[in-house]
Structure 1
Amino acid sequence: MTGKTTWAIPEGYIPEESTGPEPEMISHETVCFLNTNDEDAAVEITIYFTDRDPVGPYETTVPANRTHHIRFNDLEDPEGIPKGVPFASVIESDVPIVCQHTRLDSRQAENALLSTIAYPDPD
């Protein structure tokens, strides 16, 4: 099995503005999941802020032997994630998965893309 069951992404920020065609070039944060198991992964995401209580869990399923990408901009239940506000996330899965974090910042016409592997709990 590849991956871990708990991941942390300490950096998160959804820019308030975007440049370019929608939806492709909307400024966003994304978490990318890889599930190499033969069973689906039940995943929960909890969002942390600098000045208020955490929100979550946001729930999703990553099918067996598949990848799944979620834009933090699209998370709505239990509530939407505000734009222009720093946040962090903790991801918990019932089977080992791999997580990667990506941000597209298109506030300027010269776009910036950031991608990094999340921090896995060493178990």
Structure 2
Amino acid sequence: MTGKHTWAIPEGYIPAESTGPEPEMESHETVCILNTNDEEATVEITVYFADRGPIGPFEKTVPAERTRHFRFNEFEDPEKIPKGEDFASVIESDLPVVCQRTRLDSRQAENALLTTIAHPGE
């Protein structure tokens, strides 16, 4: 199968402001997870900060042979991820998956979109 069990995204940030219509153009940070397995994957996402302990894990599922995009600014349990604060994340899956992160920054009318592949673990 394609992927790894552990992925790290060392850079994360949810802009505190947005100029576009919600939810499409709301500033956000997203992890995209691809599951090519023939079984549902359960993933746990832990979020790390520079000045305090981590929060999570946030448990998510990705159906077999599907992809899911999860917006960090929609995570609520066990607690919300603060906007306007740097963070990092580690994604751990019971099955091998592929992870990528995307940020939409719509603080200005000229939107910025960036995406990078997450770093795969062993």
| CA distance in structure 2 between the aligned counterparts of 1:68 and 1:17, rounded to whole angstroms | 25
| C-alpha distance in structure 2 between counterparts of 1:37 and 1:92, whole Å | 15
d(CA) in 2 for partners of 1:101 and 1:95?
19
Q: Within 5 A, what are the aligned runs for 1:28-39?
A: 28-39=28-39
CA RMSD of aligned residues (A): 0.4
Aligned to 2:11: 11
Instruction: Tell me what 1:25 maps to.
Output: 25
Counterpart for residue 2 of structure 2: 2
Correspondences of 1:1-123 after superposition (within 5 Å): 1-121=1-121, 123=122
Question: Aligned pairs, how many?
Answer: 122
Cα displacement (A) at 1:44: 0.1
Q: Identity over the aligned pairs, expressed in percent?
A: 78
TM-score (normalised: structure 1): 0.98
Give the secondary structure class of the aligned counterpart of 1:26.
Answer: coil
3-state SS of paired residue (1:100): strand
Shift in Å at residue 5 of structure 1? 0.3
* Distance in 1 separating the partners of 2:20 and 2:61: 31
SS in 1 for 2:22: coil
Unaligned runs of 5+ in 2: none
For residues 43 and 9 of structure 2, the distance between their equivalents in structure 1, rounded to whole angstroms, comes to 15
